[in-house]
Structure 1
Amino acid sequence: MIMLGVLSVTFLVLALLAVPIAIALGVSALIIIAIWGMPGFILAQKMVNGIDSFPLLAVPFFILAASVMNSGGITTRVVDLFSSALGRIRGSSGIVNVGTNVFLAGISGSSVADASASGALIIPEMRKEGYSGGFAAALTAGAAVIGPIIPPSIPLVIYGVIAQVSITKLFVGAYVPGLLIASALIAYVILYAKKHDLPARGRKPWGVIGKQFKGSAWALSMPLLLIVGAKGGLFTVTELGAVLVLYAIFVGWVIHREFKWSQFPGMLTDAGLQTANIMLVVAVSSFIAYLVVVHGIPRDIQNLLHGADLSPWEFLLIVNVVFLVAGMFLDSTPATIILVPIFLPAATSFGIDPTHFGLVIVLNLMVGLIHPPLGLNLLITQSIAKVPMREVLWASLPIVGIVLCVLLVITFVPQTVLWLPHVMGMK
């Protein structure tokens, strides 16, 4: 426990000094090595072992697929289709915002990427329709939380690797929670539009909608690749990433004729840099997780929780609080790698399904993206909307409340996560 205290204090001090997460974790690890006199080669060994995982190869593919999709005109076509079809609904651009983020969630697996892509396209349209800049930014940030829930999902891949559970089952189990968040946000948008008497732009003629649907059909079918592949056993999660990249290139280059090969080297470079950043965090966090296990902290936590005679529901409440707080200060990757080895053994001893536990953890950590002090989604959308942060924060309160309500539902109703995998015959 002393080791954990030293580690936590060192990391928090460095984080408050705006030191990058990977470096802050690395320096904290080196201090622990120096204090406890551990051989230095263990750090390098555990860092290499932490990223020596075949499923993690899916991460760069998901990132690259999102880049190809945006450059190939896929995102723009989907937004245009949603806007035309929903134009008769009051304040329809808010619903288009949520719908677009649901679509993007089926491609990128990254909340921050979805907030950037959807925000640039839809926030200006929402403002033209009469939404305040703060509300448009807050809604976009909240809707982008769906990105790492509906598969493919980078956080779920990392959890699956750490917990050694089926990533495909995690992906399938995530659909219902993701759609619950989307449905709740759409209901909130409809009430908001009605309360503020926002106008309806009018639906485009059926001929126009049909033409747009025909142009978007290839794009809309992309998320189906996961369901078909998972059910038919056609490819693994890693192979899914490669298939998404090839499919996005095919649609953007052959179908839409907007993808340019001259841009591809830049996309590869960006995907490589983003992947390197994620993998560095994974590598250093893996060493921290090793220290946690070696010092018996998971066993101590498990004994402490059982000694307190908690019920499984009380344990899940504690987990929610811990991971909500962690999400306020940590990115989802280090939080997952460090904390899952601590709490997963206890969750298993309480009879909690690892798939259910994983979705609860990931959604907890995503909440940190839409409230301070981390709030990366809010920072991105606020910069796009060009409004004071206080307006975005005030508008985000109901949205944070909606996501927390869905979190409570999936926490205490496990079948919201486990039903679909069971229907698809996954054990």
Structure 2
Amino acid sequence: MGASVLSAGQAAWILFGVFFALLGLRVPVAVALGLACLPILLIEPHLWPMVLLQETFNAYNSFILLAVPFFLLTANLMNVGGITDRLLRFSRSLVGHFPGGLAQVNVVLSIFFAGISGSSTADAASQAKLFIEAQRREGYDDSFSVAITAVSAVLAVIIPPSILMIVWGGVLTVSIGALFLAGILPGLLIGLAQMGTVHVYAVRRGYPTYPRASLREVGASLLVSIPALMTPFIIIGGKIFGWFTATESACIAVLYAGTLSLIVYREMGRSQLYEAFSETGKLSAITLFCVGTASAFGWMLAFYNIPQALMSGVMAWGMGPIATGFFIAGVFLVVGCFLDAIPAIIIVGAILQPSAMQAGLHPVHFAMIGIVSLAFGLVTPPYGLCLLISCAVAKMRVVDALKDTGIMLIPMLAVLALLIVWPDMALLLPRLIEPDFMR
């Protein structure tokens, strides 16, 4: 094969220039990624347009990615089968007596939901329907209700099982079991930060509080919730102890959620089952289409060695692990505002990986910095999918919710900074529970 017609710099200008131009024309991200590849495929004599289809198909031909639709189906089965309602009752008995009781329940339910679904968009859609109107009736401000619903939904991609962890592990060859364990402490700390934010808001604005539940009420709500609460232990425990792979754990989650909904709780009929499958099909198609075109875009970057060209100057700075961690977080925070997290992992994660390795960041620590940073993009415009969903349910403009959303992100950013300077936040549990994952 002869030399390429285009240099790395020329190819980068064409790829990113066309991509951002299409985004400016409001072309969907997944479509823009694919179309951005076409000019180079037509210019470069060593390539041809069928490469786009080949690389897109190669991305789909992955056993690991089968976990994505199964975890989405698990979340939808929870919503239509009565599982979410029981977790809501248990959450209210635990924290309903805290200042801003209903908003506190919103956060705690997101923590429980995150341990089962792995999808922030599914969480945002279900939580918005459950809480926004209820909080309106209790006197909460609309902007606050939308903001806390949106920011709590991002926990689903940080607390395992997370679809982003599965994609990251598959694309960048990192142990998914280690990522599952690494996400527990950061996710819980961010959840606590959100609860503290709700407390401050509730005290300052006089939001209502529920009476404290008796021990009997807590016990009763726990008893009916135990089958649902077992789901994350089955999923994560099975993966950690080697009983099944990430994809198999997603299948087990579907079977378990279906059994609870159909046999144990008996709240899912034929119409609800059809609704769950229909919604899963839509979300899976959108998610996996992004994976396919992002993988083709990433292949084009690799063909011209663009990641090495982009990061050569950064590597020359000689940054240490902490400075590199903040640099990586900053890049992902900016990229997350414009790009879906999955293509960001495939494209930007591959570009930043050499810098992380040179600085001595552990691959699991690097992954958690990237995943937590990308989670912010779910609530920051112009992308901000969780914020868009919550605003759509509340029938309000995004701009009206930005102030409270920004305030709620401040303590979350503090947790992200702590994650960067204290790697054991991510690495402690994997080292203690399953050191083999860290090799």
Q: How high is the TM-score relative to the length of structure 1?
A: 0.95
The aligned counterpart of 2:306 is 297
2:221 aligned with 1:212:
yes
Gaps of 5+ in 2: 1-8
The aligned counterpart of 1:106 is 115
The aligned counterpart of 2:53 is 44
The aligned counterpart of 2:30 is 22
Identity %: 36
Does the CA contact (< 8 Å) of 2:235 and 2:253 recur in 1? Answer: no
Structure 1: distance between partners of 2:262 and 2:276: 15
Superposition deviation, residue 355 in structure 1: 0.9
In the alignment of these two chains, the number of paired residues is: 427
Gaps of 5+ in 1: none
1:281 corresponds, among 290, 311, 316, to: 290
Structure 2: distance between partners of 1:400 and 1:185: 9
Structure 1: distance between partners of 2:153 and 2:268: 25
Does the CA contact (< 8 Å) of 2:144 and 2:404 recur in 1? Answer: yes
Does the CA contact (< 8 Å) of 2:97 and 2:212 recur in 1? Answer: yes
2:262 corresponds, among 240, 248, 253, to: 253
SS at 1:106 equivalent: helix
Provide Cα deviations, 1:27-60, integer angstroms capped at 9, x if missing partner. 1111121232322232222222222211111001
Does the CA contact (< 8 Å) of 1:91 and 1:129 recur in 2? Answer: no
Structure 2: distance between partners of 1:232 and 1:376: 34
Please show how residues 66-77 of structure 1 align to structure 2 within 5 Å: 66-77=75-86
2:200 aligned with 1:194:
no
Provide Cα deviations, 1:257-309, integer angstroms capped at 9, x if missing partner. 10224433443333233222222211111111111112112322443223223
The aligned counterpart of 1:130 is 139
2:278 aligned with 1:233:
no
Structure 2: distance between partners of 1:154 and 1:359: 13
Counterpart AA for 2:160: P
The aligned counterpart of 2:4 is none
1:129 to 1:344, Cα distance in 2 relative to 1, 3 A: same
Does the CA contact (< 8 Å) of 1:371 and 1:400 recur in 2? Answer: no
Superposition deviation, residue 192 in structure 1: 1.5
Structure 2: distance between partners of 1:349 and 1:389: 40
The aligned counterpart of 1:310 is 319
CA RMSD across the alignment: 1.7
Structure 2: distance between partners of 1:329 and 1:81: 37
SS at 1:147 equivalent: helix
Does the CA contact (< 8 Å) of 2:95 and 2:105 recur in 1? Answer: yes
Superposition deviation, residue 205 in structure 1: 4.3
Superposition deviation, residue 383 in structure 1: 2.3
Structure 1: distance between partners of 2:315 and 2:390: 43
Structure 1: distance between partners of 2:113 and 2:271: 24
Further displaced range: 207-216 or 182-191 = 207-216
SS at 1:151 equivalent: coil
Q: How high is the TM-score relative to the length of structure 2?
A: 0.93
Structure 1: distance between partners of 2:337 and 2:375: 9
2:19 corresponds, among 11, 14, 21, to: 11
Does the CA contact (< 8 Å) of 2:180 and 2:236 recur in 1? Answer: no
Provide Cα deviations, 1:217-254, integer angstroms capped at 9, x if missing partner. 11122111133213422111111101110110111111
Does the CA contact (< 8 Å) of 2:337 and 2:381 recur in 1? Answer: yes
1:346 to 1:87, Cα distance in 2 relative to 1, 3 A: closer
The aligned counterpart of 1:146 is 155
Structure 2: distance between partners of 1:190 and 1:239: 40
Provide Cα deviations, 1:301-322, integer angstroms capped at 9, x if missing partner. 4432232232232222222222
SS at 1:127 equivalent: helix
Does the CA contact (< 8 Å) of 2:177 and 2:240 recur in 1? Answer: no
The aligned counterpart of 2:403 is 394
Structure 2: distance between partners of 1:388 and 1:260: 36
Structure 2: distance between partners of 1:22 and 1:63: 19
The aligned counterpart of 1:357 is 366
2:69 aligned with 1:93:
no
